[in-house]
Structure 1
Amino acid sequence: METYEKDLNEKLNSYFAGKIVRKDLTKMIKEGANVPVYVLEYLLGMYCATTDDEAIATGIDSVKRILAENYVRPDEAEKVKSKVRELGNYTVIDKVTVSLNEKKDVYEAEFSNLGIKGIAVSPNYVKEYEKLLCGGIWCIVKLEYYFDEEIKGASPFNITSLTPIQMPNLDLEEIFNGRKEFTSEEWIDVLLRSVGMEPTQFTDKVKWHLLARMIPLVENNYNVCELGPRGTGKSHIYKEISPNSILVSGGQTTVANLFYNMSSRQIGLVGMWDTVAFDEVAGITFKDKDGIQIMKDFMASGSFARGKEEKQASASMVFVGNINQSVEVLLKTSHLFDPFPEAMAYDSAFFDRMHYYIPGWEIPKMRPEFFTNEYGFITDYISEFMREMRKRSFSDSVDKYFKLGNNLNQRDVIAVRKTVSGLMKLLYPNGEFTKDDVETVLRYALEGRRRVKEQLKKIGGMEFYDVHFSYIDNESMEEKFVSVPEQGGSKLIPEGMGKAGHVYTVGHGDSGMLGVYKIETEVVSGSGKFEKTGLGGGRDVKESITTSFNYFKANKKNISGTISVENSDFLMHVQDCQGVGMTDELSLAAFVGLCSGALKKPVQSQMVILGSMSIGGTINKVEELANTLQACFDAGGKRILLPMSSAVDIGTVPPELFSKFQISFYNSPEDAVFKALGVE
């Protein structure tokens, strides 16, 4: 492994000399100075962009000295102000925000850590660095002190020079040419090291998730969410690594701050920053009623209307938050967007605008060994590279080799193309890639969008039934499907003949959600006892099972003369396969299970028995037929037994879904038994 690190470090130094830094230096100094990584590496890039140990040691001393003398710690603000006064001028490193004082018609600066405001600043700086007006930027500022009694209310501090801590320019060709010298695996490792991670500690899957966090920085108007456990570094990249992204901490925000301020006629964060990331999605609230609506509009089109005009902006939106229970529990009880605030949590239109869902639960909690000590690009260099790549598009890189399957609607296609474009920009910025490279990226892009669609189906029902994402090879015309791991590749209803007495049905649980239920019936010699387990406490559930047993006793001769109730005991267990709560729609399926068990004849392979009955044998039709059939399909059902009374609802089922099944209709409970057992 050591030779790989050494070779990669040497390669980096020969092709990107002066643009790299040893990341353990960042860590070493970062622990003592509370400045963002890009500020620190800007200085390290000036003094330590070399592999010569002596030069590095001297450089570190310089950086430490500059930070000790010029970086303003909030608790030492008074000391620094005194230095400016006593020395006449002094250089500080601080975060500077500028606002227009319209009463005096001057721009005024505020220093975050130094705690001084109302300092006149030249309009030239404001024109050149617009971000000063919106959220502020870290700068190296030369301050002068001059107190004039004549001018009342004026600050004695003056700015003589202001330099933002960002790279002034970047040669993209250097990156394109340098990229050719690295394999895909090496380049991924370089990118991850550049943001401080140690790739050798992660599986390939995790590496891709860490890369996906960078897509909003290279792709315009890209909407992504990542929910997962605490401590997995979800917001780190947006806060520390890029000077082009802003992290909105805490919940409450306003339309004026985020989009457009009508009174000052100033565009908000989305116009000033490449990426706006929301930390802790559970707390997002807008003071304005129309906030979420404007956000939805912007996420869909990259524009929003305020007052009489429509504004365009290219910021990507990132939503990060915590999932407090396990994913399995969340999937059973609600959906993966559940941590969002109530105003959004059941708004399928809002989530439909998400281009990707990064599964935060697949990323391990950060430990010291996950942070790299090897060489990577100076964060400022990589941030500027990402910024430049926003001007290009790689979304058509799919078309040469693949077509997207027919389950993807227009929004899905846009989402997948944007993800592909973002990853291709990061991995193959020079536009040189193979068919296999594209396929790997495409499969990853489809998975994250399907994760969004699966949750939309839970929230919005049949409108989002088409979740079986695929892509088609242009050469062989072979169609390949992409699944999401947490939905479970293995089907609830297995292929092949089951045991006699085992039947599946789909019904509404007491949570109101549709779920799959398995009824297992064992028939043993005995004296006519009927024991039921797994039903929970609901009276209606027990009644529906009792109904089926009473009907079975009364009508067994219509099924077969060989069935004897007096000489057998019947043991029935009902399993709620998806944890949606017990259902009272079990009577007909339970009757089929009793007959199947008594005759020792299994029902047909992958069959789902739908419908319920009354004590007199009257058949009730299936409620929400389309959603129920979708649940059957997702669970692995191939054959469906349906009451004749449900035939009128077939028009509500999308034809593509209906065509996935062999459907048999039944008129009576006895008819259902014969068809389920394949006895016509």
Structure 2
Amino acid sequence: MSTLDDKINDHFAGFVVRKDLVKAVKGNAIVPTYVLEYLLGQYCATDDEASIATGIETVKEILRKHYVHRSEAGLIQSTIKERGRYKVIDQISVSLNEKTDSYEATFDNLGIKKVAVDSGTVKAHPKLLVTGVWCIADVQYEFSEDARTSPWILETIKPIQIARVDYESYKAGRAKFSTDEWIDLLMQSIGFNPDTFGRRSKLLQLMRLIPFVERNYNIIELGPKGTGKSHIYSEFSPHGQLISGGEVSIPKLFVNNSNGRIGLVGYWDVVAFDEFAGREKTANKALVDIMKNYMANKTFSRGINPMGAEASFSFVGNTDHNVPYMLKNSDLFEALPPQFHDSAFIDRLHAYLPGWEIDVIRGEMFTRGYGFIVDYLAEILRHLRQEDYSNRPDRYFKFSEQISTRDRDAISKTMSGLLKILFPAGGETEAETEELLKLALESRKRVKDQLFRIDATYPEVDFYYTGSDGKKRHVRTVEEEEFPQFYYRKGTPGAEVSQSADMDGVEMLTDALKPSQSRPHDNPASTTPKPAEGHHVFAENRKGISYDTLFGHHLQGASRIIVTDPYIRYFYQIKNMMEFVEMVISRKAPEDQISVHLVTAPDDGNIPKQRELLESISEACVGTGVDFTWAYDTSGTAHARDIVTDNGWKIVLDRGLDIFQAPMRRENGFNLGDRLQEHRMVKAFYVTYLKENSDISLK
């Protein structure tokens, strides 16, 4: 186990489980993760390998005996008849038979209907009347000569969810973890290996939990297929309900006028709409109008007294085009059905989660570590719905006065949700608060910026906040920085800013940083952008960046380049160095001779391998016109990361050459991110270009 796993087991013993065990017990049982983890939590909530092995076999036996496979429904029915009573695990729903004035249950997999249910059971578990609920149930069989009487009787029922949780112990346990450790614990709890995600990517994953902790929260996530958009709503919590976007109706969602029965919003904390996107899809206008009213006012009405509910809405769907295409030709909501591609509906969304920043789910992204039993965490998050943390950022920051009440409410709800998830007992620092505030502002700004494209009557909004120093701190979306040429349209807010303003000391990526269309020696008469001094900050998860865009123009004309980076040790770091050398080779004229020298620190864990890899770069450069050499900094003082050239440039790098997130690798097949730097997501980093007044003395 990792150090984090040990710590998790020390402070949350009995409430955590090893996440890879779900696959070990699932087999061909088509049940949600929270059902399996409920059982694993009963028998495998330990770090003792022997106990885990025994517990897995126990859970497998329970599933083998009591989980109902549709193909074996007849056998289970016969078992119940012969024994008179039998325990089953199945999805159960209940309806009222008005002709007999009695409640009747339907067992989804077992395939039996009109199972007698007493009123007390229905009162104790009202969700059974709305949709199917996974339960452990005792079913009896008593044959009657009366054909109108069903032989099936529901004796006892227990919805699969954990018993009451101690919220104070949860908060006390949180205090034992650093913020980074807590984020990793939550990532493992939802099944992911945190080592395969960057900081921003982790926060985006955890944003999917906000509807579970915030009442009446509306979030949308549109992006490519296969990124796990609906997973958390179908597998994570017994308090969430995932429905297909095409299956939505007014009676099912809000209220049935024929019997006055409230719909899904009255019984579930989260209602998620899967496959919500699709321009060819249609929606009932009356449904859209009721949804808009509910999303804005938390109430709905169908000709009777207004009714209120607390369910949050999550809309997830696939995009048909990439981000630059959408920005150039339409907007980031282009995939929505026409009835929902409506400014009034879109304005009621509190946050737009950029699904295109989330990687396609792959095998190495799943964790083998420990995380909360999802049902335990679901109960904690449900408890947090009654709290309000929206005012906590006011200690450090103030919003722009231009931000409307609706925008402010949206940002505050996102902020409150993030704080509940990460800091349930408080204690967040100013820097941590600012990190979350930027994400909350950006998530609402993405909605508002697209509204300007859809409806020009919306007023201009400058999304910024001020700190204790009174300085304005502007917020931009990642796609705004990555595609300014498409993001801004003439006459829209930011169009002029994108050309000239230096917002918060961070310059826009100018043509001077863009790769030239041809190398100078290919066309001597061509003009190339002039390299300039400046400081540039790059947001995590943006693409389109390469060593050539960052360094190419500044290195042009240099014959001696020194790279100082103490962290060229591991294979991927040395591979970065090789790609830097490849960039120099690709830009130089065939007749030019350039020397590239690396100053780094030894890898105390494996110096021979480090030497072997660095020497392989030298050998690979033979005959190319580039002479690569390297040396250890024996003084131990080379903490700086920079590039110095004999043509007068010094390029300061906070991360050195380690600016890229690990690209997705496949054993069989190819991946562009592994081949082309422009298709990789970057880590958050900055680069500063300084022009020296005199020639730099190169050792």
1:277 shift after superposition: 0.5
1:33 shift after superposition: 1.9
The question of whether the paired residues in 2 share the 8 Å contact of 1:260 and 1:268 is answered with yes
Please tell me whether residue 478 in structure 1 is matched to residue 471 in structure 2. yes
Q: Residue type of the partner of 2:212?
A: L
Query: Which residue in the other structure is 1:197 paired with?
Result: 192
* CA distance in 2 between partners of 1:9 and 1:336 (Å): 40
Query: Which residue in the other structure is 1:637 paired with?
Result: none
Q: Residue type of the partner of 2:86?
A: Y
1:160 shift after superposition: 1.5
Q: Secondary structure at the match of 1:463?
A: coil
Q: 1:287 to 1:420 in 2, by over 3 A?
A: closer
Name which of 455, 463, 470 aligns with 1:469: 463
* 1:102-251 pair list within 5 angstroms: 102-149=98-145, 151-251=146-246
1:378 shift after superposition: 0.4
Q: Secondary structure at the match of 2:416?
A: helix
Please tell me whether residue 276 in structure 1 is matched to residue 276 in structure 2. no
Query: Which residue in the other structure is 1:584 paired with?
Result: none
Q: Secondary structure at the match of 2:469?
A: coil
Please tell me whether residue 391 in structure 1 is matched to residue 386 in structure 2. yes
Runs of at least 5 residues in structure 1 that lack an aligned partner in the other structure: 494-503, 509-513, 519-680
Q: Secondary structure at the match of 1:399?
A: helix
Name which of 283, 302, 305 aligns with 1:309: 305
Count of residue pairs the alignment pairs up? 495
The question of whether the paired residues in 2 share the 8 Å contact of 1:251 and 1:283 is answered with no
* CA distance in 2 between partners of 1:425 and 1:31 (Å): 35
1:515 shift after superposition: 12
Query: Which residue in the other structure is 2:3 paired with?
Result: 7
* CA distance in 1 between partners of 2:310 and 2:409 (Å): 16
* CA distance in 2 between partners of 1:56 and 1:506 (Å): 62
Q: 1:77 to 1:147 in 2, by over 3 A?
A: same
Runs of at least 5 residues in structure 2 that lack an aligned partner in the other structure: 500-699
Q: Secondary structure at the match of 2:158?
A: strand
* CA distance in 1 between partners of 2:255 and 2:437 (Å): 36
1:401 shift after superposition: 1.1
1:213 shift after superposition: 0.6
Q: 1:440 to 1:296 in 2, by over 3 A?
A: same
Q: 1:231 to 1:306 in 2, by over 3 A?
A: same
Query: Which residue in the other structure is 1:449 paired with?
Result: 444
Q: Secondary structure at the match of 2:112?
A: coil
Query: Which residue in the other structure is 1:435 paired with?
Result: 430
* 1:665-676 pair list within 5 angstroms: none
* CA distance in 2 between partners of 1:506 and 1:135 (Å): 49
Query: Which residue in the other structure is 2:339 paired with?
Result: 343
Q: Residue type of the partner of 1:471?
A: Y
* CA distance in 2 between partners of 1:368 and 1:36 (Å): 19
Please tell me whether residue 68 in structure 1 is matched to residue 61 in structure 2. no
Q: 1:31 to 1:472 in 2, by over 3 A?
A: farther
* 1:242-641 pair list within 5 angstroms: 242-282=237-277, 288-345=284-341, 347-466=342-461, 468-473=462-467, 475-488=468-481
1:220 shift after superposition: 0.5
1:600-651 C-alpha deviation (Å, 9 max, x unpaired): xxxxxxxxxxxxxxxxxxxxxxxxxxxxxxxxxxxxxxxxxxxxxxxxxxxx
- RMSD of aligned Cα (Å): 2.2
The question of whether the paired residues in 2 share the 8 Å contact of 1:423 and 1:441 is answered with yes
Q: Secondary structure at the match of 2:211?
A: helix
* CA distance in 2 between partners of 1:476 and 1:165 (Å): 52
The question of whether the paired residues in 1 share the 8 Å contact of 2:194 and 2:202 is answered with yes
Q: 1:13 to 1:506 in 2, by over 3 A?
A: closer
1:491 shift after superposition: 5.6
Q: 1:123 to 1:489 in 2, by over 3 A?
A: same
Q: Residue type of the partner of 2:465?
A: Y
* CA distance in 2 between partners of 1:488 and 1:320 (Å): 24
Please tell me whether residue 25 in structure 1 is matched to residue 18 in structure 2. no
Q: Residue type of the partner of 1:77?
A: A
Stretches of 4+ aligned residues off by more than 6 angstroms: 284-287
1:402-455 C-alpha deviation (Å, 9 max, x unpaired): 110133111110000000000000000112222112111101100111000110
Q: Residue type of the partner of 1:124?
A: G
* CA distance in 1 between partners of 2:157 and 2:481 (Å): 56
Q: Secondary structure at the match of 1:197?
A: coil
* CA distance in 2 between partners of 1:515 and 1:108 (Å): 65
The question of whether the paired residues in 2 share the 8 Å contact of 1:252 and 1:286 is answered with no
1:225 shift after superposition: 0.3
The question of whether the paired residues in 1 share the 8 Å contact of 2:114 and 2:152 is answered with no
The question of whether the paired residues in 2 share the 8 Å contact of 1:405 and 1:469 is answered with yes
* CA distance in 1 between partners of 2:339 and 2:460 (Å): 23
* CA distance in 2 between partners of 1:471 and 1:287 (Å): 38
* CA distance in 2 between partners of 1:484 and 1:515 (Å): 17
* CA distance in 2 between partners of 1:459 and 1:204 (Å): 32
Q: Secondary structure at the match of 2:428?
A: coil
Query: Which residue in the other structure is 1:608 paired with?
Result: none
1:487 shift after superposition: 1.8
Q: 1:306 to 1:168 in 2, by over 3 A?
A: farther
Q: Residue type of the partner of 1:175?
A: Y
The question of whether the paired residues in 1 share the 8 Å contact of 2:139 and 2:154 is answered with yes
1:45 shift after superposition: 0.5
Q: Residue type of the partner of 1:412?
A: D
* CA distance in 1 between partners of 2:371 and 2:425 (Å): 19
The question of whether the paired residues in 1 share the 8 Å contact of 2:349 and 2:447 is answered with yes
Q: Residue type of the partner of 2:223?
A: G
Structure with bigger gyration radius: 1
* CA distance in 2 between partners of 1:199 and 1:135 (Å): 34
Q: 1:43 to 1:491 in 2, by over 3 A?
A: closer
* CA distance in 2 between partners of 1:505 and 1:202 (Å): 33
1:288 shift after superposition: 4.5
The question of whether the paired residues in 2 share the 8 Å contact of 1:253 and 1:286 is answered with no
TM-score by structure 2 length?
0.69
Q: Secondary structure at the match of 2:94?
A: strand
The question of whether the paired residues in 2 share the 8 Å contact of 1:286 and 1:292 is answered with no
1:396 shift after superposition: 0.7
Q: Residue type of the partner of 2:88?
A: V
More helix by share: 1
